[in-house]
């Protein structure tokens, strides 16, 4: 069963206005969206984005039990501003980004996200996407494989893994998740496979590459912040340091004072930033949540509010 990470913290962080307009940029299996929709009255409205047909179908069945004041938009969150402008919506009261992969995507072996189940290499969040993990693993050069595994996976054995992938595919294409897992295991010392699954970082890196996750994150956050009405909040859950660093950088950029007035005792109103960061340190899951949902262990939640 899919558990929404930091559920209460997200709903509290959005500080929901029952008559407001909200965006769930990452609908997934509808956990957070259900909480938002349940707090809206008939004047409020929820727009939810996802590219995954399975998730959209499932979530639609969940949300229609709560209310009908919502719309699911099959699109990448990169286009949230354009999609809402088509619907004559210029400003919203809150936006949520949950950057994790939904548990059902991981649990459905056929989707090829998981290193715990044998399946065809896939990892596409949008099943219409032409690029899959199979293409990355079998067609990328050794240099490019090493680069993405090191950059996106922060994997110190990236060069060794990339070299062994290229060697293995010389005799036959790498078809399945377990074939890739075996190559990864052989590419690092045994002692480094004991504390966490040896394929975790490499699978993360390939998934990010397939879905262009980091490329679009900065632009999407900035578009979302421009859409926030005064008092509106953006809430972002990230699951690894690359994402968290992007979120932190964008939030700091939008909430900092102009350099030429920094430190002045009385800063004129027009020079004050338009946004304020609600939590200086990221919110992380409670011990209880970690006990109930091990997949939440790396989650970090950051919140920003438009103040003028």
pLDDT digits (tens, 9 = 90+) for 253-266: 999 877 666 767 77
Distances (CA, A) of 28 to 19, 108, 164, 232, 266: 24, 14, 34, 22, 45
Q: What is the pLDDT of residues 14-66, one digit of tens each?
A: 999 999 999 999 999 999 999 999 999 999 999 999 988 889 999 999 999 99
Average pLDDT, the chain: 91
**Choice between 206 and 267, residue whose per-residue pLDDT is larger:** 206
CATH of domain 7-98+213-306: 3.40.50.150
Contact criterion met (CB below 8 Å) for 167 and 187: no
Domain ranges of the chain: 7-98+213-306, 105-211
Listing DSSP states for 261-285 in one string gives TTT-SS--GGGS-SEEES-SSPB--
Mean pLDDT of 172-196: 93
CATH code for the structural domain at 105-211? 1.10.150.170
The pLDDT tens digits for 39-49 are: 999 999 999 99
pLDDT (0 to 100) of residue 1: 43
Region 168-186: mean pLDDT is 96
Task: Return the pLDDT at 292.
Answer: 87
Residue 206's CB is within 10 A of a number of other CB atoms, namely 27
Between residues 295 and 90, the one the model is more confident about: 90
């Amino acid at each position: 069963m899919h558990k929404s990470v930091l559920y209460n913290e997200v709903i509290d962080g959005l500080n929901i206005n029952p008559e407001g307009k909200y965006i769930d940029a990452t609908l997934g299996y509808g956990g957070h969206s259900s909480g938002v929709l349940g707090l809206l009255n008939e004047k409020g409205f929820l727009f939810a984005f996802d590219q995954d047909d399975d998730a959209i179908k499932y979530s639609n069945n969940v949300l229609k039990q709560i209310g009908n004041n919502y719309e699911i938009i099959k699109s990448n969150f990169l286009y949230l501003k354009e999609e809402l402008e088509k619907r004559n919506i210029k400003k919203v009261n809150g936006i949520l980004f949950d950057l994790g992969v939904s548990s059902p995507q991981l649990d459905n072996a056929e989707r090829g996200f998981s290193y715990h189940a044998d399946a065809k290499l896939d990892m596409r969040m949008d099943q219409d996407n032409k690029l899959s993990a199979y293409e990355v693993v079998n067609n990328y050069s050794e240099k490019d494989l090493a680069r993405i595994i090191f950059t996106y996976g922060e994997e110190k054995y990236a060069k060794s893994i990339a070299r062994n992938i290229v060697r293995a595919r010389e005799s036959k294409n790498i078809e399945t998740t377990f074939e890739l897992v075996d190559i990864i295991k052989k590419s690092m010392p045994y002692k480094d496979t004991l504390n966490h699954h040896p394929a975790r970082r490499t699978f993360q890196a390939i998934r990010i590459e397939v879905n262009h996750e980091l490329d679009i994150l900065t632009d999407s956050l900035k578009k979302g912040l421009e859409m926030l009405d005064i008092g509106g909040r953006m809430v972002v859950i990230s699951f690894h340091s690359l994402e968290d660093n992007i979120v932190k950088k964008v939030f700091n950029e939008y909430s900092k004072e102009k350099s030429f007035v920094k430190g002045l005792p009385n800063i004129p109103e027009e020079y004050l930033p338009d946004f304020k960061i609600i939590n200086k340190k990221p919110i992380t899951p409670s011990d209880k949540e970690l006990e109930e949902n091990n997949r939440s262990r790396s989650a970090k939640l950051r919140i920003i509010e438009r103040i003028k």
